[in-house]
Amino acid sequence: MATLSGSMVKGRRVDWGGIILYLILTCFALLMVAPLVYLVSTAFKPLEELFLFPPRFFVINPTLKNFNDLLMITGASTVPFSRYIFNSLFITLASVSLGVVISAMAAYPLSKHPMPFRKQIFSMIILALMFAPAVTQIPQYLVIANLGLMNTYWAMIVPGLAAPVFLFLTKQFLDQIPDPLLEAAKIDGAREWVIFWKIVMPMLKPALSTVVLLSFISTWNDPGPAMLFTTSESMKTLPFALSTISGGTGVIAQAGAGAAAALLTVIPSIVMFVISQRMVLETMAHSGIKD
């Protein structure tokens, strides 16, 4: 018998291509997680380490002083820090909840009902994806002002409900649900609302999880609505408060507090992604597939 080559280990061929690919992907993964690790490290750095040159990636003498400074800075303002947190939580939860329902209700007829001008309506939705959010800020402001919703929670909730990208993802996932399943429910006497809530919504769970994640991240981290639609400090959100900490007076003294605030802001988004990542990947795999 011929001698085994160096590329054979215990009767099995070593997949060098797979190993190299794994190493390359590992390097990319480390590069992607590096900013998050640096953010965590910076939040615990004392003031003298924040301005070292060259900067150090990892903290040497970790401290909780930055978080204490953050509470002192926000505690000295006219509005307590807890108010900013409540505003952000309320606006985010309301936007996510209503946005999920609106996206599903709008996508259902576009996908499963032979309504007039269905293709044209969906084409307009795709076209809306091309516009940057800044383009719609002035029309949104005029609509909110004319409706008398300025300085209200609705002013910061309503503009984000009809997001074209969420409708697109939901509709594309709905296309994968077989029509005979819904027709069988109609034959059994189920009404449209029953079919929608009892059959369609449970099957849309992966797509809706993606909508929840993307909507949560975009709403939670966006200071724009608080800057555009409110003038009352008690209606401001957490991202707006953090931007004033990072860019206000005493920037050097508040650098540590700004780093701590940035960490506290990003933690909810990370938790949401960890919880829903499996369903998000499933949605991305199906959103562009056609039977």
CA distance 45 to 204: 44
User: Could you tell me the CA-to-CA distances from 86 to 93, 97, 220 in Å, in that order?
Assistant: 10, 16, 12
204 class by beta-carbon count within 10 Å (0-12 exposed, 13-18 middle, 19+ buried): buried
pLDDT value at 137 more than 50: yes
pLDDT value at 90 more than 90: yes
Evaluate whether residue 111 is within a structural domain.
yes
pTM of the model: 0.76
CB 229 within 8 A of CB 155: yes
Q: Same domain for 219 and 119? A: yes
Q: How many CA atoms lie within 13 A of 210 on its CB side?
A: 24
Binning pLDDT at 50, 70 and 90, where does residue 286 land? low
Pinpoint the alpha helices (H) of 76-163.
81-112, 118-128, 137-146, 153-157
pLDDT value at 277 more than 80: no
Q: Same domain for 174 and 31? A: no
Q: Same domain for 262 and 189? A: yes
Evaluate whether residue 71 is within a structural domain.
no
The predicted-structure confidence for 189-206, as pLDDT tens digits, reads as follows 888 888 888 888 888 888
180 cis-preceded (ω within 30 degrees of 0): no
User: What is the domain range of residue 36?
Assistant: 15-63
Q: Same domain for 131 and 175? A: yes
Q: Same domain for 104 and 39? A: no
Evaluate whether residue 214 is within a structural domain.
yes
pLDDT value at 114 more than 70: yes
Q: Same domain for 24 and 144? A: no
Evaluate whether residue 195 is within a structural domain.
yes
pLDDT value at 138 more than 80: yes
CB 41 within 8 A of CB 260: no
User: Could you tell me the CA-to-CA distances from 255 to 22, 58, 67, 87, 247 in Å, in that order?
Assistant: 38, 17, 11, 24, 9
The predicted-structure confidence for 53-72, as pLDDT tens digits, reads as follows 777 888 888 888 888 877 77
* Domain count of the fold of the chain: 2
Evaluate whether residue 188 is within a structural domain.
yes
Q: Residues 253-262: what's their mean pLDDT?
A: 73
CA distance 154 to 80: 22
Q: Residues 121-127: what's their mean pLDDT?
A: 86
Evaluate whether residue 70 is within a structural domain.
no
What CATH number is given to the structural domain containing 86? Answer: 1.10.3720.10
How many residues does the structure list for the chain? 291
Mean pLDDT of the chain: 80
Q: Same domain for 48 and 129? A: no
The predicted-structure confidence for 222-242, as pLDDT tens digits, reads as follows 888 888 888 888 888 888 877
Q: Same domain for 214 and 242? A: yes
Among 91, 70, 52, 82, which Cα is nearest to 246's? Answer: 70
